[in-house]
Amino acid sequence: MVRTGLLGFALCFLLSQDAIAQYAGPAEPFSDETLFSLDSPVGPIDYVAGRGLRLGRTGLNIGGFTTLEIDKVRDEAATLELDSLSFLVLWEPLDFARAFAEIEIGNLLNYDIDSGKAESDAHVQIERLYGDLSRNDALNLRIGKFQTPVGIWNLVPAEPFTWTATDPVQLETAFDEHQTGGAVFGSVYAGSQSLDYWLYGQFLDPLQPSEDPLPAHRGVGGRLRYGGLLDDWAVGTSFLASERNGRWSYLGGLDAYFQAGPFEVQGEFVVSRGDIQGRDLWSVYVQGVYDLERSASFLRGLHLVGRYEHFASRTERTANVYNVGLTWIPVRFLIFKAGYQFTEGQSDVVSPGMFSSFSILF
């Protein structure tokens, strides 16, 4: 009954605005371009490149993205992978109500470049599915499956919206990527600053849970973020308590973001302690981005990216992870990334090598 009710609540579109406001991903340097528009009984139907299809007065927007990855992990064969095709749908029938979903068709193609062997195991996964009710900026209610509000990165970790083709290690190990339950969230403004808050809990059975690692059964957490109204700086803190089979783990985190001219820096620190296997760890990363167009106009849309991460766990060996590369956004709906990741110390959760991707927003 719970799943049927949630599925009836919504389908999906581009990133929800609360997530965009708190996430430091690739910028949108170019203006919208309407590729076509036509009149209909429900109003104009418009398609904007990279922002999806707006169906008149219905309040329905449909968009999505797909990503092609080419990776060469050290001592392994190079692979080409069409990772997924994701549809994002936003329905806003009323000013105070909306529904959102992200439906992913995953594992479309994995091609071993050395041997020529191709595999496909396509399946449908509901990544996000929730409904929102809003009284005002300060008070909003969310029910469904949504990103766990821990730190900066996990709010919108999809490939097109991050600066690198690889994620920080802490995202894979420290906590569940999603919560299935409810949240109260909002923003309060004071002068030239804003305070954002989240209070949330996982009290519904996980919707299409992963098998490795197994998700927590229940959880409760909160997040505060204090920053400038122009989103040029922000600091945040997170807390999450998770339970699986009667065992608990507790996570605390700090994060910060700063932007000045062509420079952008973000960092996160997470420590997790408790009895859930694999979650007794701490990790910190710092990532910097430099807009090369500020130095030479012919480098339009090109960004230099670097990230350092330290990861320490009782079940994994300590590792220092370095990632350096380039991200090119020639137009807002095309994103190219190429980088090299190397490590000091070995860990089963991180691999050195070259990682690249090409994403299309539609």
Q: What pLDDT, on the 0 to 100 scale, is given for residue 21?
A: 35
- Architecture of the domain delimited by 2-361: Beta Barrel (2.40)
User: What pLDDT, on the 0 to 100 scale, is given for residue 349?
Assistant: 72
- Kind of pairing, strands 218-228 and 193-202? antiparallel
Residue 295 φ/ψ region, left for φ over 0, alpha for ψ in the -120 to 50 degree band, beta for the rest: alpha
Q: How many CB atoms lie within 10 A of CB 243?
A: 17
* pLDDT at 314 (0 to 100): 79
List the chain domain ranges: 2-361
The span from the CA of 343 to the CA of 347, in Å, is: 9
Say what the pLDDT of residue 25 is.
57
State the CB neighbour count (10 A cutoff) for residue 292.
Answer: 18
Q: What is the pLDDT of residue 317?
A: 76
- pLDDT tens series, the chain, 362 aa: 333 333 333 333 333 333 333 334 564 444 466 888 889 898 899 999 888 999 999 999 999 999 999 999 988 899 999 988 999 999 999 999 999 999 999 989 999 998 999 999 999 999 999 999 999 999 999 999 999 999 999 988 788 889 999 999 877 788 999 999 999 999 999 888 999 999 999 999 988 887 777 889 999 999 999 999 888 999 999 999 999 999 999 999 999 999 999 999 999 999 999 998 888 999 999 999 999 999 999 999 999 999 999 998 877 778 899 999 999 999 989 999 999 999 987 666 788 999 999 999 99
List 208's β-bridge partners, or say none. Answer: none
